Amino acid sequence: MNKDINPGDYRVDGSGPFVIADHPTRVESFYKDKSDYKKQMKDSRKEMNELQEMMYAHDRYSILCIFQAMDAAGKDGTIRKVMSGINPHGVSVHSFKRPTEEEIDHEFLWRSQDHLPRRGHISIFNRSYYEEVLVVKVHPEIVRNYQRLPEENLEEVWKGRYASIRDHEAHLVRNGTRVLKFFLNLGKDEQRDRFVARIDEQEKNWKFNEGDLKERGFWGDYQTAYEEAINETATLNAPWYVIPANDKKNTRIIVSNIIRKEMESLDIEYPQVSDERRAELLEYRAGLLKEV
């Protein structure tokens, strides 16, 4: 309890093979009780808010956080709880749904370009271009029926996409964007319990979607697709973080700590004011005070 969270415990950076079954969906709790959880989240948000302001003033780095997971793993809630409290001018969240006609008419990275973070800002992707090697790989008819690619060999399509993603993320990192990718690792039984709760608790009925049940039927294929995608795209500079997701509060505390620690690791400071500029400012000050 209140143990220090070590991002390295969750990081997958390509230095060894990633085996999804070796990663827990639940770990010992990092909070004593609900009020301790709330306090930890509040403290973390406050620090993140200050760090984001400094990032903005320093105007060199940005952060991209990508969230991927099975349905009901808690992506939305995690994003909301981790990021609320940060200056809304400094953060943007974008959810990637099924591509529109216009999006399908472009290559698969195109639609994320406008949502990448500006310098000094944080962008959150709720789902992302990774869907192109997850849901689309589980349902390859999407490629055949809609995507109109020159390459017909699907194995080549996936290989090409992994390469494009690695190159794209390396490019972002070279240009000042830190890339953090979170896989919220939910257990299959826990997903069932959350779906049942969406039926049992009336105020959650709106969240229930029979389409999610259909995807649950492909659980094994998704696990395989995640394992391969993470193995193919985890790099030292753009690592994945595999987060135990069966306990929502724990998930949020862990994610919040990882993002905050990444921000702390940035070499940033408020711009220094030169002596000349300081003298100028004092002249303006004197002028203002002389106003009648």
Least distance CB 130 / ligand ATP (angstroms): 9
Gyration radius (Cα) of the chain, Å: 22
Number of residues that bind ligand ATP (CB under 6 A): 14
**Order of strands, sheet of 62-69, starting from the edge strand that comes earlier in the sequence:** 11-12, 240-244, 177-185, 62-69, 122-126, 91-95
Q: What angle do CA 149, 161, 239 make, to 5 degrees?
A: 165
CB 196 within 8 A of CB 263: no
Q: Which of 14, 74, 99, 120 binds ligand ATP (CB under 6 A)?
A: 99
CB 6 within 8 A of CB 241: no
Contact between 53 and ligand ATP per CB under 6 A: no
Contact between 147 and ligand ATP per CB under 6 A: no
Stretch that binds ligand ATP, among 79-87, 127-135, 228-236, 247-255 (CB under 6 A): 127-135
Contact between 216 and ligand ATP per CB under 6 A: no
Contact track, ligand ATP, 157-196, x by CB under 6 A:
----------------------------------------
Contact between 221 and ligand ATP per CB under 6 A: no
Looking at beta carbons only, is 225 or 253 nearer to ligand ATP? 225
CB 1 within 8 A of CB 32: yes
Contact between 10 and ligand ATP per CB under 6 A: no
Q: Which of 5, 132, 180, 257 binds ligand ATP (CB under 6 A)?
A: 132
CB 102 within 8 A of CB 50: no
Q: Which of 27, 109, 135, 170 binds ligand ATP (CB under 6 A)?
A: 135
CB 256 within 8 A of CB 47: no
Please state, in angstroms and rounded to a whole number, the distance separating the CA atoms of residues 252 and 43.
13
Place of tokens 């620090």: 47
**Contact positions vs ligand ATP (CB under 6 A):** 71, 76, 95-99, 127, 131-132, 135-136, 142, 209
